[in-house]
Homo-oligomer: A and B are copies of this chain.
Amino acid sequence: MWAGVNIGAMSSRARYHHGDLRNALIGAAARLAAHGGPEAVTVRAAAREVGVTPTAAYRHFSGHDGLLAAAKEECIGRMSAAMRKRLDELPDQADPIESAIGRLEAIGRGYVDFALAEPGLFKTAFGGHFGANHLEKEHDHDADDPHGMLITLIGELIRLGYLDERQRLGAEISSWSLVHGLSMLLIDGPLAGLAEADRSAVVEQALTSFSRSLRNAGHTGA
**A210 sits at the interface (CB 8 A):** yes
**Cα distance, A94 to B1, chains bound together (Å):** 65
Count, chain A residues at interface, CB 8 A: 40
Binding site of A, secondary structure by majority: helix, strand, loop or mixed?
helix
Most buried by B among A133, A173, A177, A184: A177
A1 vs B182: C-alpha distance when bound (angstroms):
35
How many copies, total? 2
Q: Among A24-32, A56-64, A212-220, which stretch is in contact with chain B?
A: A212-220
A:159-195 near B, CB below 8 Å: 169-170, 173-174, 176-182, 184-185, 188-194
Residues on B with C-beta less than 8 A from A170 are 202, 205-206, 209
A173 touches B191 (CB 8 A): yes
Cross-chain contact A177 with B173 (CB below 8 angstroms): no
Q: Which residues of B contact A135 (CB under 8 A)?
A: 190-191, 194
